[in-house]
Structure 1
Amino acid sequence: MKNKFLSIKNNISFKNGLIPVIIQDFKTNKVLMLGFMNEEAYKKSIFDKKVTFYSRSKKRLWTKGEISKNYLFIEKILIDCDKDTLLIKVSPNGPVCHKGTDTCWKEINKKNFLFILEDLILNRTRQRKKKSYIFQLWEQGINRIAQKLGEESIELIIESKDNNNNLFLNESADLLFHYLILLQYKKINIQDVIDLLEKRNLIK
């Protein structure tokens, strides 16, 4: 299958043999780090689908995570208008900075909480703990999950008619929580929904 990242290679201008590369989290949009690539590093990156830089200090190719295994798996590559800077959107496999933080600017909270909650829901279903509300609902199957989502929707609609924002907020949280459970049951990630919304609303 043809590598989807090959198409932009001919548009890149490797000034002095190197091009700066901004690394951004695909899900959270956080800027994670900055590195440099030469043409060989770029080719290796698109072949492996993992970010490889050219280390100016070591004078060699350097795959991020080659020691720590905290690889940067490539999701999307963008080139700027001058064709001399890359933005690579990645799914990081662990902390990005060698000091253990998720960015080289010392941020700690790697994921938006919705993604954390999504992971929690999936873990509860795999752990099969009978006392877990998520697992109990999961075991009842799609009909019960869909019914519960419908019940939460009706409760939210009812609260929207009143002036108690606290109750409305709580029902909103309940609805979103059960929606995430339904998505996981259907083997769909919240990122898939976000991607579709972005696609529908792109300015042409």
Structure 2
Amino acid sequence: MAADFTDGIPLDRIRFNDQGLVPAIAQDYLDGTVLMMAWMNRESLAKTLATGEGWYWSRSRQELWHKGATSGHLQRLKSIRYDCDSDAILMAIEQVGDVACHTGERSCFHQIGEGKQAPGANTLSELYDVICDRRDHPNPESYTCKLFAGGDNKILKKIGEEAAEVVMACKDDDPDQIAGEAADLLYHTLVAIAHHNVPLRDVLRKLHERRR
């Protein structure tokens, strides 16, 4: 059964523009990546709230647009809010198929300069992408690549060492040292996750479940 968000936004509070539209930004609910921006009118916003799926207004076709109805790339609403001026919508969504753009890219915001580059999400996700790149394109001078070359024995030994250092930093009650040692532990844990080909999104999904 689809979630009902009709109590999430009071429609009468939203300030639609002269064309009766309001910009709506869709953001990945796990890593925060901005996936797309489209327009909503009052009816499409009401349908989004009632069905828990992304509905927009197509300015080119002049009709309601159920995102993913044709491609299968539906957007499942996780949360929705509006800004301080009540004239913009921000949605946290689960993007089915992990493709929001009609070009096949994950995000519509993939262009930079004359080329393409996936937009940054959060620091943890960006670091994991770098680690996976080191795994897939080994460089003998890279510390990360040396960890991968050493396999579980080397990686897990480092995790044990870093975990102990986090404990000692906490016992010393040194905020800067705690932050540094925790960062080292997270980094080496990400290397282990990548070594076992576990998608970071699976970890983020588990963390999201822990919030309940």
Distance 1:72 1:122 in 2: 28
1:35 aligns with 2:39: yes
| TM-score using structure 1 length | 0.60
Unpaired runs of 5+ residues, structure 1, are: 1-6, 14-19, 43-50, 65-70, 102-107
Distance 2:125 2:78 in 1: 24
Distance 1:136 1:142 in 2: 12
| TM-score using structure 2 length | 0.58
> What is the match of residue 129 of structure 2?
119
| Secondary structure, counterpart of 1:33 in structure 2 | strand
Contact 2:29 2:94 survives alignment (8 Å): yes
Distance 1:123 1:195, change over 3 A: same
Give the C-alpha shift of residue 53 in structure 1. 5.9
> What is the match of residue 165 of structure 1?
175
> What is the match of residue 84 of structure 2?
none
Counterpart AA for 1:126: D
Distance 2:175 2:63 in 1: 58
Contact 1:23 1:33 survives alignment (8 Å): yes
Unpaired runs of 5+ residues, structure 2, are: 7-22, 48-53, 81-88
> What is the match of residue 164 of structure 2?
154
Distance 2:159 2:177 in 1: 17
Contact 2:30 2:208 survives alignment (8 Å): no
Give the C-alpha shift of residue 135 in structure 1. 0.6
Q: How many residues align?
A: 164
Distance 1:96 1:72, change over 3 A: farther
> What is the match of residue 45 of structure 1?
none
Q: Deviations over 1:129-181 (max 9, x none)?
A: 00010011101111211111001111111121113322222111111110111
> What is the match of residue 140 of structure 2?
130
RMSD: 4.3
Distance 1:54 1:109 in 2: 25
Distance 2:167 2:110 in 1: 48
> What is the match of residue 89 of structure 1?
94
| Secondary structure, counterpart of 1:27 in structure 2 | coil
Distance 1:163 1:79 in 2: 37
Contact 2:107 2:119 survives alignment (8 Å): no
Query: Please, which of 152, 155, 158 is the counterpart of residue 142 of structure 1?
Result: 152
Counterpart AA for 1:89: E
Counterpart AA for 1:171: E
Distance 2:79 2:160 in 1: 44
